[in-house]
Amino acid sequence: MMRTRITVLASLLAGMSASLVTHAQPAAWPTRPVTIVVPYAAGGPTDIVARALGASMTKPLGQSIVIENKVGAGGTIAATHVARSNADGYTLLLHHNGMATSVALYRKLDYNPLTDFDYVGQVADVPMTLLGRRDLPADNLPALARWIQANKEKVNLANAGIGAASHLCGMMVQQALGIELTTVPFQGTAPAMNALLGGQVDLLCDQTTNTISQIRANKVRLYGVTTPNRIAALPDTPTLNEAGFKGFDVKVWHGLYAPKGTPKIALDRLNTALRAALGDPAMAARMTDLGSEVVPEAKQTPAGLQDWLRLEIAKWTPVIQKAGVYAD
Ligand code: ASP
């Protein structure tokens, strides 16, 4: 009888300590800094969003966030790296539309965006701007279109690599003009912008998160914003649609990813910290000042990112296949 009671007590205690252990685990994550891998160069738009997010997520997460720039191959090197990293929540990826377009653009992709990642949530939506070097002899879109037609043999267009948002925007600009230009790939907007400022390239279409400071300093020519509506940060700038590229509509969206198999507790904590960061007025104000906006709450969720990614892959794959653009 006594032995039975002891056994029952022992198993109750065991059950209690097991549940204590289960409850102790959450408090233990994260115990060290978390790294967000950025697929483009420091100082570029993706990097700027990642650093603003990292700064705002630090407090709710209770750990510092390190930003690591792993550049090259239109963001696919960074995505492969994170897909193969330990699924412990300490290595994350902040990526944009390139996560969806890489599926069709790369003949050989070492990750599958729909099966090799867990999702934390979407972050921010950023318009793009079509820019020219400061001394380009055209000060509006119709004049630019004429100048390009007259100089098409030598005009060049910078981008941040195959699969970059600037590559996508550049493809749409060429489609709108009905001509093919020489494109010059860089490893991010930061070096591409330096080349534009230095006059080594003629044109660049890129996110306001980087371009707005050069626009405000009057160091580049601005031909329009890529979104269907004008943006509050550049109220006098026409949309490319208004200015003559009918139907032009590109926006860059950003998501935060973890390797597949990341423990639920880490994903939950990361999502809580993401939502706290996006609700932080300092983060929202920084994004607004850069011409962009944090996404609405429904998109700040794992499903909000996963569903959007699925839609974007379905949207862009046939477009890219039809255009016949590939990278090896
Ligand atoms: N804005 C770049 C792109 O075209 C990448 C970057 O530097 O953030 O995708």
Nearest-10 Cα torsion for 15, 16, 18, 19? 120
The proportion of the chain whose per-residue pLDDT surpasses 70, expressed as a percent, equals 92
* CA–centroid distance, residue 3 to ligand 1 (Å): 69
pTM above 0.85, yes or no: yes
Token output for 41: 């160069």
Atom from ligand 1 closest to the CA of residue 38: 8
**CB within 8 Å of 58: residues ≥ 6 apart:** 64, 65
* CA–centroid distance, residue 296 to ligand 1 (Å): 22
If you average pLDDT over residues 276-283, what whole number do you get?
94
What fold, for 34-126+252-323?
A: D-Maltodextrin-Binding Protein; domain 2 (3.40.190)
The per-residue pLDDT for 21 is: 40
If you average pLDDT over residues 96-110, what whole number do you get?
92
Which of the listed residues 40, 49, 169 should we mutate to test ligand 1's pocket, taking the one with most ligand atoms within 8 A of CB? 40
* CA–centroid distance, residue 2 to ligand 1 (Å): 71
Question: Rounded CA gap, 66 and 63, in Å?
Answer: 10
Residue 164 φ then ψ, to 5°: -70, 160
Question: Rounded CA gap, 124 and 254, in Å?
Answer: 6
pLDDT, tens digit, 9 for 90 and up, residues 149-162: 999 999 999 999 88
Domain assignments of the chain as residue spans, ordered by start: 34-126+252-323, 127-225
What residues does ligand 1 touch, defined as CB less than 6 Å away? Answer: 40-41, 44-47, 160, 164-166, 188-189, 206-207
* CA–centroid distance, residue 199 to ligand 1 (Å): 19
CATH topology agreement for domains 34-126+252-323 and 127-225: yes
The CATH architecture assigned to 127-225 reads 3-Layer(aba) Sandwich (3.40)
pLDDT, tens digit, 9 for 90 and up, residues 178-235: 999 999 999 999 999 999 999 999 999 999 999 999 999 999 999 999 999 999 999 9
Atom from ligand 1 closest to the CA of residue 252: 9
Question: Rounded CA gap, 314 and 103, in Å?
Answer: 10
